[in-house]
Structure 1
Amino acid sequence: MIFKTAELFAGPGGGAYAAKTSHITDNNGIEWGFKHAWANEFDPDTVKTYKENILNDPDASTVYCEDVRNFDITNHKLLGDIDALIFGFPCNDFSVVGKQKGLDGNFGPLYTYGVKVLKEYQPKFFVAENVGGLTSANEGDAFIKILKAFSNSGYTLTPNFYKFEEYGVPQSRHRIIIVGIRNDLDKQGIKFHVPAPTTPNPKNYVTSEQAITQPPIPKDALNNEYTNHNKRTVEMLSYIPEGGNAWSESIPEDLRLHVKGAKLSNIYKRLDRKKPSYTVTGSGGGGTHMYHWSENRALTNRERARLQTFPDNYHFIGGKESVRKQIGMAIPPKGMRQILMAVLKSFAHIDYKYVEATPKLQTNKLFNVSGSEVATLVKH
């Protein structure tokens, strides 16, 4: 069974690459996997990256570059039937780093376009991804509203708070991922479970040093340009210890930043080579580009891509800042692959190790509730 898969907010193809590389053969010799049907993405550079790496065709007509609000989702003749939907709906208004406007922001309501696809096409399942801050936006109301919309579209939900470093990703990247199985299939015994972490012990986490140096990145690798820092920045970095940031006490007074705000930040923060990196992001100005643990420089885009588990031959198209944004906004393929493999095994009735879903909704409405408890709440 090969699932015809559609994507909204496709990004540079993190989810698509995970799908492309996820496949199993069951005990009856039947192959299970995914096949690209269509995708929608707003940014032109990102669309070019997707086409080149996922479809190996810069002229592919099944990737639609337009604002999802203008995308003709109801055009069945053009898009055709689908079996699966993957979408990482925009996180800008749910991130705890921003103003967390939630459903009141410009991006918060965009999840509704995923709901439209679910209602219009009724795929067998969907996978939706967003930041952990989704659970606390609008005092928890946003997350519950989104879950209810997915549930009312005809799906049995398994939301979970994933720590991707527990799944072999060399990065502390924490995300809410919601898997929905169409109700009629759930009643037939197709049950999705949260796959058990592959590296539950912190001692076994893949470190940033391992990710970036094993094997070494060739100097002429794709997207591996170095940043030309000014002399003052290089000198300041020389005083920041491994794992430290711009407010490290070791920085001389004349080199310190005099900026109001939280000192527990990632501004000019060096990696700790013995730990997974902090979260790779795609936005932010000076000082937010992630910094090498010993060399006085920002990471290259290829190094960031390694932390995001993209292979070295994955060519990101566009200028340096465009590429940085694409990498930071992407779903780490290695983490998503664990989830998609669990979906395949669920449909193929192949046993796999799993754990209880725990979204960890730390709001004034819910606290550390289980996936089954969330499912009950959403129905009311």
Structure 2
Amino acid sequence: MNSVKAKNSYISLFSSGGLGDLGFHDEEFFCIASAELLSRRIEVQRLNQLADPSRLICGDLMLPGPFEQVVGLAQEYTAAEKQPVTVLLATPPCQGMSVANHKKGDELARNSLVVRSIEMVKIVRPLVFIFENVPAFMKTICTGMDGNNRTIAAEINKELGSNYEYFSQVIQLSEYGSPSSRKRSLTIGVRNDVTWATPLDLYPQQTKAPTLRELIGDLPPLTKMGESADGDILHSFRPYEPRMRTWIKDLKEGETAFENKDPNKRPHRILNGKKVPNVQKNADKYRRVFWDATAPCVHTRNDILASQNTIHPVDDRVFSVRELMRMMGVRDDFVWFSGQQDAGKVLSWEEYRKHDVNIRQCLGEAVPVPVTQSIARNIKNHLSAHLQFSAGKPKRRIDSLWSTSAQKSAYMGVPDYRRKTNAAYYTEPLIAFSLIKRALGAFNQKRKKPIRVLEPSAGSGVFIDVLNQYGDYYKIDLTAVELDHEMEQHLRKKYSSATNLAAFNLELSDYLLQENESAYDLVVGNPPFGRKSVERDSRWHGEPELSVRFLRKALSESTMVALVMPKALLHAKYYLNIRRYLIASCNISTVLDYGEYTFPNVKIETLGLIADRRQQAIDTTTIKSWPLSLIREASPDYVFSPEYPSWLIYRDGDFDRVLSSLHCGLLNVWRDRKVSRRMASTDGVRVIRGRNIGYNGELVDDSRDYYVDKEIARAVSCSLKRLDGSKKFLAPNLSYNPRAIDFRDIGDSIPDGSCAVLFGDLSAKQAEAFIVFSRSDEFQRFYRVACNFATRSINIDSCLAFWWGVPKL
């Protein structure tokens, strides 16, 4: 199917006057819909042509009409362009969460607008979602989509965590492009299938903010109430009660009117002829701000002296709209009302006043334009530039010039000899992010002591790149180990300059041969996969699986491990010992089923495993599935029960119901490992393959059927005769559509390795019931859960044979 070129688009919820949208508009994102409650603010967007008027939705998103109108526009766009919405930006009202608002009412009702935003993301499924709000945002209680109260953080995880990887942080926006101080919660989510970009790649660029003097110092002073600068009505002295001027006129920078020694100059009101002092609820009310510091936060009530940090450093007034525009990064040609271009000449202050409050509220509610523009630019450069669509699904372009450090690491060419010798498969950036995020989440960001982290198989450096990004939020002391000299030199050159890490040490070594004396807080990475010969005398080489050797050694040296492992770890027989070891000695806090998303262009099923050796047991394990778009919390005793030979991360009540009706563990398994098509002859004995086993209990002919010599067949037949039990059955191996037939149905034919021979002592009635049940839809789902919905790592060994249950009669 032909690929479709990516187009950048966005939806904006609670968009106010469109200032947050302006950043996306200026980066040439197409506005699919912009929704706002108040018509006067929608008018501001219309005047600035931020979107086609038909896409400006005025109404309450809690009502079905406006909400469905936005959804309809998104669906129309997706159908027409054959691609999803790129970004959904939501900045729901924050009154129920803001510490600046002391008059809170029905907080849960207000916070329901947050839940409405989450619902919109869930329906529209944009590639990226952005939530910007006050610092308390994620900790605030809301009524979730299911009617239960929980924190907004928990609601986002419950409703969006199955399809998105996201990062949420309270940041000072003045460090990320905003010209003024503004501490906010910023949450950015990236859809699971956009594996080449992480939320940290899309976070706004860090920059140093200008001082207030640098920002507005060139504007002319205003000393008379109602006075405007020549030709610029937006730079005006907003009038207030003249008696209040004495409260502020003698203030120096940083002082508040409450500090005046003269009681008559302190804020007060007159009640019944008596002077009543005002209460100082915030330390920065009636406060004159500093010239040579970052501009203060622009609040919604920036029109009054009594609000926070609203008084000019020199003039006896609140900041003008023009000054506030600069403090929010709004360009000078932004239009607030019709006829604004001639306003300086035509309008008096009294005529302009009817627009002033709306403008100031829009500015106070906005996301600073440089912040959203930086995010939009990052989405364009790091996500969309490498994106194309096939059948409406995002695909990574293979001809891209990679723009992030992790992308360059993940998609660098790997010579065949290195892939074969060192099992060198490099991890998709979003996969590395998902594992690191959850592992570091167990540590306090404010801890003074650095987190000691080990990357034992650094490879091209994907995990180092993501850890380096996390260095902005955690103190990380990283040691990376790599055994390939060429890759070690590459990494050394790459990280020779300063990093965000508290410390970085790179070692050329075979991790499995190291004798580490110091302990680590965390071992994280993607160890090599594959099997090696067992060395009985070696402490770590007693396991045939390379990844298990790394896992065992990491657990001996670290409090916590977070490693990418083969998905077969969940159920294959050759991982049985490590499964038993883990549930006996570790807490398994997280299992991330990546399916085939981990390695670029490689069909290998993997999972992310986070385990720790802390003595205190945990109550729940987090399980997320990329293939099933699922996230859940489960009891470790339930999904890792030692009663069964495999782990069951998708176990549920329906599985248990079927399990209770079966006798499991009655059958053993045998598979031939020698017969193959290269032994084919023109006649002889027919070879039965998995695809010959029909869904109706009959053998099915296939154009690729073959025969082998009678002597070869005789050896297989002898092995089959030695199997214990009264009954034998034949089932396709490596199939997630299980079914079985009576072995006698194949006559003198023999099976090859694509079939599994199940055998055991069953009565005739049990055997008949087993065959019928094995072909049922009920068993298919039961068996898929038993196989953890794997599609490749499902060889029928003794652990999976256990689940070929016989119905209880």
TM-score by length of 1: 0.81
Q: What is the CA distance between 1:216 and its match in structure 2?
A: 6.1
Match of 1:97 in 2: 100
Aligned equivalent of 1:302, options 314, 318, 322? 322
Structure 2 residue 67 is matched with structure 1 residue 67: no
Q: Is the 8 A contact 1:222 1:313 kept in 2?
A: no
* Backbone CA RMSD of aligned residues: 3.5
Encode CA deviations 1:104-142: one digit per residue, 9 max, x unaligned: 433111112222222222111111111112144349952
Of 34-43 and 167-176, more deviation after overlay is shown by: 167-176
Q: What is the CA distance between 1:346 and its match in structure 2?
A: 2.4
Please give the secondary structure, in 2, of the residue aligned with 1:98. coil
Structure 2 residue 299 is matched with structure 1 residue 278: no
Q: 1:366 to 1:40 in 2, by over 3 A?
A: farther
Structure 2 residue 312 is matched with structure 1 residue 292: yes
Greater RCO, 1 or 2 (C-alpha within 8 Å, sep 6+)? 1
Given residue 241 of structure 1, which amino acid in structure 2 is its aligned partner?
A: K
Match of 2:15 in 1: 10
Q: Is the 8 A contact 2:289 2:296 kept in 1?
A: yes
Given residue 198 of structure 1, which amino acid in structure 2 is its aligned partner?
A: Q
Structure 2 residue 110 is matched with structure 1 residue 107: yes
Q: Is the 8 A contact 1:102 1:142 kept in 2?
A: no
Q: Distance in 1 between matches of 2:62 and 2:210?
A: 39
Q: Distance in 2 between matches of 1:368 and 1:325?
A: 34
Structure 2 residue 173 is matched with structure 1 residue 193: no
Given residue 351 of structure 1, which amino acid in structure 2 is its aligned partner?
A: S
Of 225-234 and 287-296, more deviation after overlay is shown by: 225-234
Q: Distance in 2 between matches of 1:366 and 1:142?
A: 20
Q: 1:196 to 1:178 in 2, by over 3 A?
A: closer
Segments of structure 2 that go 5 or more residues without pairing to the other structure are: 1-5, 79-84, 143-148, 222-228, 268-276, 338-353, 387-401, 407-432, 447-469, 475-561, 563-589, 593-621, 623-630, 634-809
Q: Is the 8 A contact 1:272 1:293 kept in 2?
A: yes
Encode CA deviations 1:11-68: one digit per residue, 9 max, x unaligned: 111221100122xxxxxxxxxx5111111000111111111124387xx121011111
Q: Is the 8 A contact 2:57 2:66 kept in 1?
A: no
Q: Distance in 2 between matches of 1:227 and 1:352?
A: 47
Q: Distance in 1 between matches of 2:254 and 2:125?
A: 47
Structure 2 residue 30 is matched with structure 1 residue 35: yes
Please give the secondary structure, in 2, of the residue aligned with 1:107. helix
Q: Distance in 2 between matches of 1:13 and 1:316?
A: 11
Q: 1:196 to 1:52 in 2, by over 3 A?
A: closer
Residue-pair matches, total: 353
Given residue 280 of structure 1, which amino acid in structure 2 is its aligned partner?
A: V
Given residue 95 of structure 1, which amino acid in structure 2 is its aligned partner?
A: S
Aligned equivalent of 2:362, options 314, 326, 330? 326
Please give the secondary structure, in 2, of the residue aligned with 1:223. strand
Please give the secondary structure, in 2, of the residue aligned with 1:127. strand
Please give the secondary structure, in 1, of the residue aligned with 2:151. helix
Q: Is the 8 A contact 2:305 2:311 kept in 1?
A: no
TM-score by length of 2: 0.40
Given residue 90 of structure 1, which amino acid in structure 2 is its aligned partner?
A: P
Structure with higher strand content: 2
Q: Identity of aligned pairs, percent? A: 18
Runs (4+) of structure 1 exceeding 6 A deviation are 100-103, 356-359, 369-373, 375-379
Q: What is the CA distance between 1:311 and its match in structure 2?
A: 0.9
Match of 1:156 in 2: 165
Match of 2:539 in 1: none
Aligned equivalent of 2:445, options 357, 368, 374? 368
Match of 2:403 in 1: 351
Structure 2 residue 258 is matched with structure 1 residue 247: yes
Q: Distance in 2 between matches of 1:229 and 1:73?
A: 40
Q: 1:192 to 1:50 in 2, by over 3 A?
A: same
Of 140-149 and 121-130, more deviation after overlay is shown by: 140-149
Q: Is the 8 A contact 1:102 1:108 kept in 2?
A: no
Q: What is the CA distance between 1:101 and its match in structure 2?
A: 6.4
Q: Distance in 1 between matches of 2:161 and 2:317?
A: 49
Report the structure number with the largest CA radius of gyration: 2
